[in-house]
Chain A
Amino acid sequence: MPENILVIGGGPAGLHAANELAELGVSVSLVERDAFIGGNPKKFKYKFLFPDLQPAENVIGELIKKAESNKNIRIYYSSEVTDFKENGKKFDVTIKSPKGTETKTFNSVIVATGFEHFDPATDSKYSYQLFDDVIDIKDLEKMMGEGNFNRPSNGKPPRNVAIILCVGSRDRHVGNQYCSRVCCTVSVKQAIELKEHFPEMEVYIFYMDIRTYGFYEDLYWKAMEEHDVQIVKGRVAEITSGPDNTVICKGEDTLLRGPFEIPFDMVVLASGMEGGPQSPEMSKKLGIELDEHGFLKPANITLSPFKSNKDGIFLAGACTGPKAIVDAIVEGGAAAMNAYIYAKKNAQ
């Protein structure tokens, strides 16, 4: 009889874990709260992925196709784990789906519940949802995914765009002290995409530190050297309405200009990543630890970032902290291997 493994969450990490396990002949149950799989990249229609600007479909589409076509994977759409009990070295789990409720015994569990985009409306200084032309990176990603590069207010091409980094990240006021890791690179990528679409447009990036770590730095150079993106050191203090249907960004250029108030046609907020309501929910239901940032806490952050503090429950992807899709996929593989070893060892 094959091992039974439960994967909670059908984003990049959960899908990759499920696919790997299915290849090993494991019987996988994949529980997904949405009516589709693919996670946030699918939900918000990410179009091109950094660093090589390959179509997101190459990655997400591939993962989805594999999962949907593998007969060893049973996908529960629009479903949730309603009850979770330890049963010796195994787990009795109740899954509630639109088709009804069923309880199954699993040898091990992988939690890959991912992240939520920070909601910029909770930080009033950015006037998000107050002005139509103030959007955030996921909105822009979705717009560009649909081939729309125009201003939401009037449908005309923007003459200039401000991109504001660290929205909802590195900000104790909103309770997120951490860096969300990917927003700098996503923003630089989006700046390049905007400039490629409208070469005449001015793009400003307002930053505290540009964290395009590792090879992502190539994009940062490219934005500056090939596309003349203006990179200004200073966090925006306030966004107000300006003349001629513009929005004014007010702040301090800490290196060059001093105080500035610049009217823009469009402002893009690089909102960060949060553990979302699902992280504490998983922590409570499964009895695994939550960290001080609102994400799930690995047993050992360096040695075993894919293990929870409870034997037999493994973690993968952005549920343990902000990370890029590539890292989520890597962790999905690592968690799959560890979940498989645990299941094999404790099969009887």
Chain B
Amino acid sequence: MEYDENGVSIVPFEFKKEIFEEAKKDFRYEEYVRGCLNCGVCTGGCPPHRFFDFSPRIVLQKCKSNDPALVWEMMDEYIWACFQCFTCAMICPFLNSPGGVIAILREIAVRRGFESAKRVLKPYSRVLLKLTAYGNQLSPDMIQPDFFPDWGPHIGYASQDLPLKRKAIPMPTLQVTNLAWDVAPETMKELYTIFDEAGVFKIIEVVDPSLYEIIMDIIDDVRSS
């Protein structure tokens, strides 16, 4: 993928148009993008706006511009700066949802396996694995400095002596560090069906083919057990 001087990936205008049309066709789009008077309430209340060059008002304005090139400019980095907290949608006086539009654009990026989506999802591959293959979410052994640098300076301490710390939790735990909770095989099989029907596995295959292979092997084992 080639990028221009602003870090925007270079693609033909026709492709930008196709992506914008895909977003507009989403059944939620009309509900999320209404009138905008540039009042700036959304950006004023936006948490990531305090840390990054990110403004929900700009997201909505670019969509309102009907210019596919402006919308495409956001696909590489901009849309991934959003926390998806939906404060913007909550406070917009005109009931727009910039966060909602971002969700639509992100889903397109994921479905189509854009480089940006792959890059952003890479650190989450272990979460995806636990979630889709084991019906678990974060488990204690996943808390490691390399994977969660944004958890602050105490992540190193937090990741040590996990079995001991697990025992110190004053409530029933599984006393293991690789699972957050126990999931019965029947439940797991049901989950696989749901993920299958919802197209989750297909998306994982697009953004991370090697992770997909691993998940499929586990699923085959569980299903045949």
Q: Which residues of A contact B (CB under 8 A)?
A: 125, 166, 170-173, 208-209, 233-238, 250-254, 259-260
Contact = CB atoms under 8 A, between A and B. Distances in A.
Given A252-B40, A252-B43, A254-B40, A235 B49 contact: no
B37 A234 contact: no
B93 A238 contact: no
B37 A208 contact: yes
Given A208-B38, A252-B40, A259-B44, A237 B57 contact: no
Contacts of B45: 237-238, 250
B86 to A, nearest CB: 14
Interface in B195-209: none
6 contacts: A208-B38, A209-B37, A233-B40, A237-B44, A252-B44, A254-B38
B39 A235 contact: yes
B9 to A, nearest CB: 26
B91 A252 contact: no
Interface of B: 37-45, 49-50, 55, 57, 91, 93-95
Contact of B44 (A172, A173, A236): A236
A80 B95 CA distance: 39
Contacts of A238: 44-45
Nearest to B90: A173
A254 B60 CA distance: 14
Contacts of A250: 44-45
A173 B95 contact: yes
Given A170-B93, A252-B55, A235 B50 contact: no
Nearest to A171: B93
Contacts of A233: 38, 40
A250 B47 CA distance: 12
A253 B40 contact: yes
B165 to A, nearest CB: 37
Contacts of B95: 172-173
A170 B37 CA distance: 10
Nearest to B56: A252
A172 B93 contact: yes
Residue from B37, B43, B50, B94 having most chain A Cβ neighbours under 10 A: B43
List the 5 closest pairs (A to B, CB-CB), nearest first.
A237-B44, A252-B40, A251-B44, A235-B39, A237-B45
Contacts of B38: 208, 233, 254
B49 A237 contact: no
A254 B42 CA distance: 11
A125 B91 contact: yes
B41 A251 contact: yes
B217 to A, nearest CB: 48
Contacts of A260: 44
A217 B39 CA distance: 21
Contacts of B42: 237
A236 B39 CA distance: 8
A253 B57 CA distance: 12
A234 B39 contact: yes
Contact of B57 (A166, A170, A209, A252): A252
A234 B43 CA distance: 10
A208 B91 contact: no
B92 to A, nearest CB: 8
B40 A251 contact: yes
A173 B40 contact: no
A200 B69 CA distance: 48
B55 A235 contact: no
A250 B42 CA distance: 11
A236 B49 CA distance: 15
A173 B93 CA distance: 6
B50 A208 contact: no
Contact of B49 (A173, A209, A259): A259
B224 to A, nearest CB: 54
Nearest to B45: A237
A252 B119 CA distance: 31
Residue from B38, B40, B43, B50 having most chain A Cβ neighbours under 10 A: B40
Residue from B44, B45, B55, B57 having most chain A Cβ neighbours under 10 A: B44
Contacts of A166: 39, 93
A173 B42 CA distance: 13
Contacts of B55: 252
B50 to A, nearest CB: 7
Nearest to A252: B40
A233 B40 CA distance: 8
Nearest to B58: A254
Contacts of A209: 37
Contacts of B91: 125, 173, 237
A250 B39 CA distance: 13
A125 B43 CA distance: 14
Contact of A259 (B37, B50, B93, B94): B50
B204 to A, nearest CB: 37
